[in-house]
Structure 1
Amino acid sequence: MTAPNLFLIYVTDVPRATAFYSNLFGIEPVMLTPRYVPFEAAPGVLFALWSGRSDTVTPQVPRTSEVGLMTKQPVDELFAQWVAKGVTVAEEPHDEVFGRTFVVTDPDGNLIRVSPFD
């Protein structure tokens, strides 16, 4: 069986979201199109921004997903770096059953959760 290798994040403004994720993660897109922008998360695995069909893109359509980033960097250290970049904080760093974590949001309100590697 093939493992999932494409993860879509729904956004309303693809250029704005592309700039946000490029800056936040320090990565560049694989390609640019008006409504779809993929980033290579790992060899053969894409994390992509997608606005949907052009006739359905409106700010009134809620777009919420949760992106997970497991890091080897100390979670509180990464939190401080991201706050310095101006992210919107949804949850301050705290301890959970899986370790230290925090949550920020992208410009569309999608959640980005940071935690240590399992």
Structure 2
Amino acid sequence: MKIGPEIKPALLGAAGGAVVLAIIGFAWGGWVTGATAREQAEKNADTAVVSVLSPICAIQFNAQPDSAAKLAELTALSSYQQPKFIEEGGWAVMPGAEDAVSGVSRGCAAILTTET
């Protein structure tokens, strides 16, 4: 098949433009692949869940009768031990759930220790 002299430059220009468009789009335009978009969506969903449930955990913590003593215990612990303390106390378990949601205990500890 023979391509006419006026078609060949148009096809080469279109192909070159597509390559340049893809490079600019992925490098500076914020384009991402489907897998990257899925990863970002999962991360954002996890962050949203933690940011919504952490205040509930703090409310549950403060609702206990001896919350002042427990808060003193919590603040005496190092920052990496605080989430475990909250999980073991059961405050990171949401009503109707059996287990604590990952990350809620860290967020809860951050809320409780910054309130003091």
Give yes or no for TM over 0.5.
no
TM-score (norm 1): 0.24
Tell me which protein shows more strand as a share of its residues: 1
Tell me which protein shows more helix as a share of its residues: 2
Query: Larger radius of gyration, structure 1 or 2?
Result: 2
